Amino acid sequence: MMSSFWIVIACIGLAIITLVTRAFFMIPEQEVPLPNWLKRGLKYAPLAALAAVIAPEIVMSNGQLISSFADARLPALAAAVVYFFYKRSILGTIALGMVIYLPLHIGWGW
């Protein structure tokens, strides 16, 4: 078993590591030069993170791929994708997806 002393030391160490890594670009006095390929890649990081969180929620249920098209997520996803490509509105996309998802999920039990 770890003693409380080592737990406190581990927490302090983790806090220092977190502080340094999150503040890495604010510590230097000058702007840190980044290669152009890295700057271009960082533009896609939020989208990649969002896709990594949302994609498994859409295609999996209880750790298994969904096996039926009678799932409320699929029609909601299809309508939201069409709406987004037509209007380019994130808020409208989320709202439409939920307007379709909730009645199918709560009302019909999909």
The yes-or-no verdict on residue 76 having pLDDT over 70 is yes
Round the average pLDDT of the chain to a whole number and report it. 88
CB 79 within 8 A of CB 100: yes
**DSSP 3-state of 23:** coil
- Under a CB-based contact definition with an 8 Å cutoff, are residues 28 and 43 in contact? no
- Number of CB atoms found within 10 A of residue 104's CB: 17
pTM above 0.85, yes or no: no
For residue 27, pLDDT over 80 is answered with no
What is the pLDDT, as a whole number, of residue 69? 80
Average pLDDT, integer, range 22-33: 81
Q: How confident is the model at residue 1 (pLDDT cuts 50, 70, 90)?
A: low
Single-letter amino acid, residue 47: L
Strand locations in the chain, DSSP E?
Answer: 60-61, 64-65
pLDDT in tens, 51-73: 898 888 888 888 888 888 888 88
